[in-house]
Amino acid sequence: MTDEAEIPVTERLYRFVAAQLPADSRLELSPVQRMSVGLSRENWVFDAVWLDKGEAVEEQLILRRDPEGSVLSTERHVEVAVLRALEHTKIPAPRVRWFDERGTALVRPSVVMLRERGECEYFCLTSDARPLDVRVALAHEFVDTLAEIARVDWRGLGLGEVLADPGAHGAVAALDHWEGELRRVQREPLPEMEVVLAWLRNRAPDAQAAVLVHGDFKPGNALVLGDHLALVLDWETAHIGDPLEDLGWITNPVRQREHQIPDVWERAQIVERWSERTGYAVDPAELLWWNVLANFKLAVIGLTGVAEFIDLHMDRPYNAPLSLCRIMYDLMGV
Amino acid sequence: MRPTLAEQLRGLRHILDHVVAPEVQGDYAQQSLLGVSRTLEMLEQRAGAVGLFLEWDNRETHAIVESISAHGISLAQPVDPITPIMTGDLVALDGENERLRGILAAVIPAITDRAETHDLHAAVVAHLRERVARYPYASTGTLPSR
């Protein structure tokens, strides 16, 4: 008799998908392959074919399952609620097909989504694969989409029921969250991080509004089809927060190779277009605060990897991301 | 002592790269193995520097927390260790490093954004910058940087 714990993911997935369909669906799955991309979730791609009232249905799908160890601790039911709400907007977000919230069928919480067309290109803005004018137009699409996210009527979509509203205190809420994560994962005293934390704590700005924040917006979390942005991926850190949070994330100097085109599409142009599209003013000191917070968050994510590696839950080696502290000190002017 | 630590790490990496890796199927497993191999290479080059690094950092951190204490700022615990540390005892050096850095970490809010502790704060940051520069281990990520 097979031990339930040893059932491979392929078989579990078949059972799970079959359970979502009528009994006579004659479900067939293509070989299920685990992708190496993604640090926070397991990604398994597969195709499914079944009969619906006698008609053949074929879908390309992706299973995103919580891994044993992850660099991010997030709640799947929140991500799914955000994705389902976004189906009623112009934001190009993944469509949820089925959801195993408690991991009853797939061991750990899992979401099956439709696999959309397009390529994940980390450096689509700087790579020479496209002419400059095409890359600039693509960069505009990225920022316009980010602005659109900040303009989502999250209250009208009912997201206030699953996401906490920090009101004007989005900065303090974000800092509290990432300090909490730091305390949860740090395995040794880190005075480097305490220097940054004290600086951030003493300068946390008030927000102009509370908006939907993606939390990890970048070309590496998007699909590009042809020369256009087709889909914004990885909504697991979406929350309600300060409008400048996502802008601080994409203008983080550490990430400029992903978000900027030298001499043509740099910080000033990004800020100007985003401000124009959202209607929110951008105070340089506040944006700097969010740039530092972006790196603090990156460092905490790296330290989460270290903790998971120490606990033997991580499939990749991790070391302390201390070099980010020097970058933060430079930004802070200390 | 042969094989030395570095030679053993290099030998293990050779086995993984030339014997195990060609037999590994699947993109995910291949990338994981690549990460292991790169980390072994990093350790082979840098592990020998850990003892000297810890001795240096303990000496400097001890001096900094002493100077903070001399300014009348109370510390979470006494600066001096209960027992002396033997040179080359990595476990004891690591333990002392954690103890001293714990004292330093706890006192940082008290010296931040205060005119009278500006120089102390600058000295702490200068030391931490130097520590980051000297840190013997390095990340060996196999994916595009986040």
The ipTM (two decimal places) reads 0.92
> Using the beta-carbon criterion (under 8 Å), do B128 and A220 form an inter-chain contact?
no
How far is the C-alpha of A305 from the C-alpha of A198, rounded, in Å? 23
Residue B29's H or E segment, with its range, is helix B27-46
Residue of A327, A323, A298 whose CA lies nearest to A40:
A298
Tell me the shortest Cα–Cα distance from A15 to chain B, in angstroms.
23
Q: Is A189–B102 a contact, with Cβ atoms under 8 angstroms apart?
A: yes
Residue count of chain A, please give it.
Answer: 334
CA distance B139 to chain A (A): 5
How confident is the model over B122-128, as a mean pLDDT? 98
Long-range contacts made by residues A197-203, C-beta under 8 angstroms, separation at least 24? Answer: A197/A296, A198/B108, A198/B109, A198/B112, A198/B113, A199/A292, A199/A332, A199/A334, A199/B112, A199/B113, A200/A175, A200/A289, A200/A292, A200/A293, A200/A296, A201/A175, A201/B109, A202/B112, A202/B113, A203/A285, A203/A289
Q: Give the closest of B128, B139, B141 to A192, CB-based.
A: B128
The rounded mean pLDDT for chain A is 93
Report which of residues A35 and A70 the model is more confident about. Answer: A35
Length of chain B: 146
What's the rounded Cα separation, in Å, for the pair A39 and A82?
21
Predicted pLDDT of residue A122: 92
pTM of the model: 0.91
Cβ atoms A113, A62 nearer than 8 A: yes
Candidates B30, B104, B143; nearest CB to A39:
B143
For residue B146, what are the contacts with CB-CB under 8 A and spacing of at least 6?
A39, A220, A298, A301
Residue contact B102–A334, C-beta within 8 A: no
Q: What is the pLDDT averaged over residues A24-32?
A: 92
The answer to whether A264 touches A136, Cβ cutoff 8 Å, is yes
Report the first-to-last Cα separation within chain A, whole angstroms.
Answer: 64
DSSP A154-183: TTTTTGGGTS---TT-HHHHHHHHHHHHHH
Contact A321, A206 (CB under 8 A): no
Q: Which residues contact A279 (CB under 8 A, 6 or more apart)?
A: none
User: How far, in Å, CA of A144 to CA of A138, rounded?
Assistant: 10
Q: Residue A275 has which token pair? A: 């401000």
Beta carbons of A191 and B122 less than 8 Å apart: no
The beta-carbon neighbor of A195 closest among B32, B35, B124 is: B124
Percentage above 70 pLDDT, chain A = 96
Residue A16 has pLDDT above 50, yes or no: yes
Residues of chain B with Cβ-Cβ distance to A198 below 8 Å are 108-109, 112-113
The backbone torsions φ and ψ at residue B96, rounded to the nearest 5 degrees and listed phi first, read -65, -40
Q: Extract the tokens encoding B15.
A: 């086995």
Q: Which residue of A has its CA nearest to B138?
A: A319
The contact set of A with B (CB < 8 A) is 33-37, 39, 122-123, 188-192, 194-195, 198-199, 201-202, 220, 254, 298, 301-302, 315-323, 325-326, 329, 334
Give chain A positions within 8 Å (CB) of B125. Answer: 195, 329, 334
From A258's Cα to the closest Cα of chain B, the distance in A is 9
* A297 has a pLDDT exceeding 70: yes
In tens, the pLDDT along A87-100 reads 999 999 999 999 99
**Chain A residues touching B138 at Cβ < 8 A:** 319
Asked if pLDDT for residue A148 goes beyond 60, the answer is yes
pLDDT exceeds 70 at position B141: no
**Cβ–Cβ contact B51 with A under 8 A:** no
DSSP result, B86-142: PTT-HHHHHHHHHHHHHHHHHHHHHHTT-GGGHHHHHHHHHHHHHHHHH-S------
pLDDT at A298 over 80: yes
For testing contact with chain A, the best of B9, B13, B28, B129 (most A CBs within 10 A): B28
* Helices within A204-322 (DSSP H only): 244-250, 256-259, 267-278, 284-310
Say how far apart CA A98 and CA A228 lie, in whole Å: 28
Mean pLDDT of A254-260: 94
Q: Do B32 and A316 touch (CB under 8 A)?
A: yes
Write the pLDDT tens digit of every residue in B102-119.
Answer: 999 999 999 999 999 999
Query: Looking at the complex, does the CB of residue B102 fall below 8 Å from at least one CB of chain A?
Result: yes
- To the nearest whole angstrom, how far is the Cα of A166 from the nearest Cα of chain B? 25
Task: Check CB contact under 8 Å for B27 and A188.
Answer: no
Per-residue pLDDT tens over the stretch A186-240: 999 999 999 999 999 999 999 999 999 999 999 999 999 999 999 999 999 999 9
> What's the CA gap between B50 and B134, in Å, rounded?
10
| Long-range CB contacts for residues A82-85, cutoff 8 Å, separation at least 24 | A82/A159, A82/A162, A82/A163, A82/A212, A82/A235, A82/A238, A83/A113, A83/A235, A85/A154, A85/A157, A85/A158, A85/A159
Q: Determine the average pLDDT of the residues in A16-25.
A: 92
Instruction: Determine the residue type at B30.
Output: Q
pLDDT beyond 70 at B145: no
What's the gap in Å between the CA of A44 and the closest CA on chain B?
Answer: 11
